[in-house]
Structure 1
Amino acid sequence: MKIIFMGTPDFALQSLTALNKNFNVALVITQPDKPIGRKKEIIFSPVKTFCIQEGLDCIQPDKIKNNKELLKIVREINPDIICVAAYGKILPQEFLDIPIIGCINIHASLLPKYRGAAPINRAIINGDTETGITLMKMDSGMDTGDIISSFKLQIDGIDTASTLTMKLADLGASEIIKLIKSIESGSKLLSTKQNNNKATVAPKMLKDDGLINWGKSFREIDKLIKGCNPWPIAFTHLNKQIVKIYEIKEHSSEKISQGEIKKIDKSMVVGCKDKNIEIIKIQKSGQRQVAGKDFINGISKIENPRFT
């Protein structure tokens, strides 16, 4: 079974690792290197780093659509399957038509729910208790292809987007191996069309998606913080400066107003719509992450501090 793999972030790495152990991965296609952070340092993606370590052929085309050179490379390999996991771009039909069996996508939601770039973040932010993996036969739309199979996974109350990504990555890797082995054994690749009437979209996360509204409930704010970790990280403003919030918990004290900050029993406490919130982990822009109880000691000179 000759396979081409397409993927970029940590979510894709688990599947690539499993495929490389079990099959012939003839080529890996990943996104071009991008500058990261304030210093704009070029950092390789997890997938590219793995390819270097394992000696796998890896290319990073600037574009997929109207890329004759890429089409030539892929056609010469003549893959049985192209396996895609969080590659980051929609593939044109002429590309999808190349593999003998087809292009199979490992998508981190129970399609047709959460089509798009950020299904894991959106599921947590929206307070879902269940998500999963869908193996899908790709078409030229955004996660609109026929469903081969889907597998459910419970979302734990303590899950962040980071921890849930790893759980789903493990599940996806396990199931794609089972599927390809069944195809090798002679099973037909069966699929069913998605119910477009039940489709929802999970658009790419933006930095501003992490802005905390202290007029929301504790549960809504907690889910936002978890769903924005590790990126974009939930944030608020203190004296017009950005402050990032990493972890909170309920605080059983007399209710204070929304956004108001108080030191109660050595803890940093903030009011929201329905409860008081204790800030556990926090970070001022340009500084290191600290405990809330230490942070509040550093703002003692601010009169009537308030998050906005």
Structure 2
Amino acid sequence: MRLAFMGSPDFAVPALRALHGAGHEIAAVYTQPPRPSGRGHKETPCAVHRAALELGLPVRNPVRLRRDEAEHAAFAALGLDAAVVAAYGLILPAAMLRTPRRGCLNIHASLLPRWRGAGPIQAALLAGDAETGVTIMQMEEGLDTGPMLLAGRVPIGPRDGTPAVHDALAGLGASLILRALAENPPARPQPEEGVTYAPKLAKEDGRLDWRESAAVLDRRIRALNPWPGTFFSHGGETIRVLEATPEPLPVTAAPGTVLDEAPRIACGDGALRLLRLQRAGRGAMEATAFLRGYALPSGAVLG
């Protein structure tokens, strides 16, 4: 089958490799343009771009697609049977959605209609969902509203974080898109009930609000690491929290109070034991090693 593949981050790479390995003809790979990265701000291609170059596939990096008639014409000239989209990062206009013979198929990292939008993996973890999954969806102009072709489920373990769930869903998405192309299953509309949205995350979403329960803060830490990361303020510094565990202790101290040398921090309900921390410009450290070089005295109140 003659395809275009449209994706950018690591999540999309297993699907690209699976389609190529299955013998599909990939006429073009569309990705986000290279971005400045690292201390030298060197222009760096995204994960899908790098994988496409490794596989010898042609890459296109349009900055925008809406109202770009030349880009629409170039897409139409590919003569596609289908386009596969996985976390591409640009909205496809109607002119492009209609071009491939079998339309555009999206690999979405949730069990639609739950968690439509930009951050479905993090949203499922933040909400404490017991499971999530991947939906293969026929794309239309609405935000993740198209009819569904296939879906697969993945359980979320009690200590799972975004990296583990991300990798499981990326592999599942690769297998499901191969099935969708081979089997051409009938599309079914999404249910009207149960719709939820996963907004795009910002750095400030990672600030820990100690008034929340320890269980909620634990979910936030597991959901938002490695990006945008979770943090608190103390002594004029921003300290990243990479790992923690909730403890259902009876706590009477004000939220944010350091309770002991563990260190345990008082929350709105229970306490949060910090396990791995990182100062700006430093490496990540186990809490015991971190505290040998940075004081979090009992009774201090964290911001």
Task: Place the TM-score, normalised by the shorter chain, in its bin.
Answer: over 0.9
Match of 2:47 in 1: 46
Uncovered stretches (5+) of structure 2, i.e. residues with no partner: none
* Aligned equivalents of 1:254, 1:296: Cα separation in 2: 24
Match of 1:244 in 2: 240
1:279 deviation in Å?
A: 1.1
Residues 160-171 of structure 1 aligned to structure 2 (within 5 Å): 160-171=161-172
Match of 2:285 in 1: 290
Work out the percentage of aligned pairs sharing the same amino acid.
32
Runs of 4+ in structure 1 deviating by more than 4 angstroms, as ranges, are 251-254, 301-304
State whether residues 238 and 279 of structure 2, in contact with CA within 8 Å, keep that contact through their aligned partners in structure 1. Answer: yes
Amino acid paired to 2:207: L
Amino acid paired to 1:260: T
2:125 is aligned with 1:129: no
Uncovered stretches (5+) of structure 1, i.e. residues with no partner: 184-188
Normalising to structure 1: TM-score of the pair?
0.92
* Aligned equivalents of 2:36, 2:98: Cα separation in 1: 33
* Structure 2 CA distance for partners of 1:158 and 1:252, relative to 1, 3 Å: closer
* Aligned equivalents of 2:156, 2:246: Cα separation in 1: 20
Normalising to structure 2: TM-score of the pair?
0.94
Residues 165-184 of structure 1 aligned to structure 2 (within 5 Å): 165-183=166-184
2:258 is aligned with 1:261: yes
Which whole-Å deviations, capped at 9, do the CAs of 1:139-165 have from their partners, x for residues lacking one?
Answer: 011111111122111111121111111
Which whole-Å deviations, capped at 9, do the CAs of 1:59-84 have from their partners, x for residues lacking one?
Answer: 10011111222222221211001000
* Structure 2 CA distance for partners of 1:169 and 1:71, relative to 1, 3 Å: same
* Aligned equivalents of 2:200, 2:250: Cα separation in 1: 38
1:162 aligned counterpart, secondary structure? helix
2:291 aligned counterpart, secondary structure? helix
* Aligned equivalents of 1:250, 1:223: Cα separation in 2: 9
Which whole-Å deviations, capped at 9, do the CAs of 1:144-195 have from their partners, x for residues lacking one?
Answer: 1111122111111121111111100100100111121224xxxxx4111223
1:41 deviation in Å?
A: 3.2
* Aligned equivalents of 1:149, 1:130: Cα separation in 2: 16
1:252 deviation in Å?
A: 7.7
2:211 is aligned with 1:215: yes
Match of 1:35 in 2: 36
State whether residues 218 and 272 of structure 2, in contact with CA within 8 Å, keep that contact through their aligned partners in structure 1. Answer: no
Which 10-residue stretch deviates more, 232-241 or 77-86?
232-241
State whether residues 90 and 142 of structure 1, in contact with CA within 8 Å, keep that contact through their aligned partners in structure 2. Answer: no
* Aligned equivalents of 2:70, 2:168: Cα separation in 1: 36
Candidates 271, 275, 279, aligned match of 1:276: 271
Amino acid paired to 1:176: I
1:30 deviation in Å?
A: 0.5
How much is the aligned-residue C-alpha RMSD, in angstroms? 1.9
* Structure 2 CA distance for partners of 1:101 and 1:250, relative to 1, 3 Å: closer
Instruction: State how many pairs are aligned.
Output: 301
1:74 aligned counterpart, secondary structure? helix
* Structure 2 CA distance for partners of 1:182 and 1:251, relative to 1, 3 Å: closer
Match of 1:90 in 2: 91
* Aligned equivalents of 2:99, 2:25: Cα separation in 1: 17
Match of 1:186 in 2: none
1:304 deviation in Å?
A: 4.4
* Aligned equivalents of 2:128, 2:296: Cα separation in 1: 37
Candidates 189, 193, 196, aligned match of 1:193: 189
* Aligned equivalents of 1:39, 1:213: Cα separation in 2: 34
1:298 deviation in Å?
A: 2.4
* Aligned equivalents of 2:17, 2:227: Cα separation in 1: 24
Match of 1:10 in 2: 10
